[in-house]
Amino acid sequence: MAIVKWIEALQKLVPWAAGLTLAPKLAISLVIFGLAALALGLMWNPAPKRNQEVVALPKRPSNQGPPQPLGSFVVGESTDEIRNLNGVRELQPLEDDLDIARLPNGVFGFIPPWSITTRRLGAGGDAGGERISLHKTNNGATLVELHKSSRGEIFVLAYVTEDILTRLQNPTREDPLDATLFFAPYKGNDRLIGIPTRRLVAWEERSPSEIGDIADIRVR
């Protein structure tokens, strides 16, 4: 009797099913019953809401790494690497030929090596009393690249030998070290280093005819 009543109800819901035989009517009934059961199940048991968790994206690694103590040497494979380590950018047009004391932190520029003295750089603990200005571009002459780092520390970039580099970085070194700086790779002088001017005790520029401008220095 229940089947007969269900078929009669089906014929009222789907009039065109009245002309079908018993077997198709039963099949359609089962399909409708299954859909109805699914709909009721979804109504009474809604899918649980997922907790929306905020996932922090990993930070991009910084090439600068942890800050080094002031007065530390900076070593890199290229000028771009040392610029990145010191956090410096190119001078803006209005910053060109500006006194280094008036420049913001985080810039680099160029200066002729013969214009450098330890006093002008504020080296050896001296605050420096003479004007020294940086230029925006290297015009092809021998120029020294100077950095005013993101922390305001001044660095001179130059090339030295592997031996001098090792001795400069020796943490047990107590006495000042004499060295010769080259401003372009020359024979074994191919290790690029940024020397903080606060560690310079002496700076003497000279120009051997077959080499060009170099500087003899003493470093604490």
Residues 31 and 79 in one domain: no
Q: Considering the domain boundaries, does residue 63 fall inside one?
A: no
Residue with tokens 């089962």: 30
Helix (H) or strand (E) holding 163: helix 162-168
Highest mean pLDDT among 53-67, 109-123, 125-139, 168-182: 168-182
Would you say residue 33 lies in a domain? yes
Tally of domains in the chain: 2
Q: Which residue has the tokens 């040497």?
A: 73
Question: Do residues 15 and 80 both lie within one domain?
Answer: no
Q: Which two tokens stand for residue 144?
A: 């020294």
Q: Are 78 and 180 in the same domain?
A: yes
158 within domain boundaries: yes
Task: For 108-147, write each residue's pLDDT tens digit.
Answer: 999 988 888 766 665 554 444 456 889 998 766 678 999 9
Residue length of the chain:
220
pTM: 0.66
- Check: CB of residue 183 under 8 Å from CB of residue 214: yes
Q: Are strands 89-90 and 191-196 parallel, antiparallel or unpaired?
A: unpaired
Looking at the structure, do residues 39 and 136 belong to the same domain, yes or no?
no
- My answer on whether 95 and 36 are in the same domain is no
Helix, strand, coil percentages, rounded to 5, for the chain: 30, 25, 45
Helix (H) or strand (E) run with residue 154 in it: strand 154-160
* 17 shares its domain with 99: no
Fill in the DSSP letter of residue 135: B
As a whole number of angstroms, the longest Cα–Cα distance in the chain is 118
Q: What is the pLDDT of residues 191-218, one digit of tens each?
A: 999 999 999 999 999 999 989 999 999 9
Residue reference for tokens 């170099």: 214
**Same domain (yes/no): 102, 28:** no
Structural domain boundaries enclosing 7: 2-44
User: Does residue 115 belong to any structural domain of this protein?
Assistant: yes
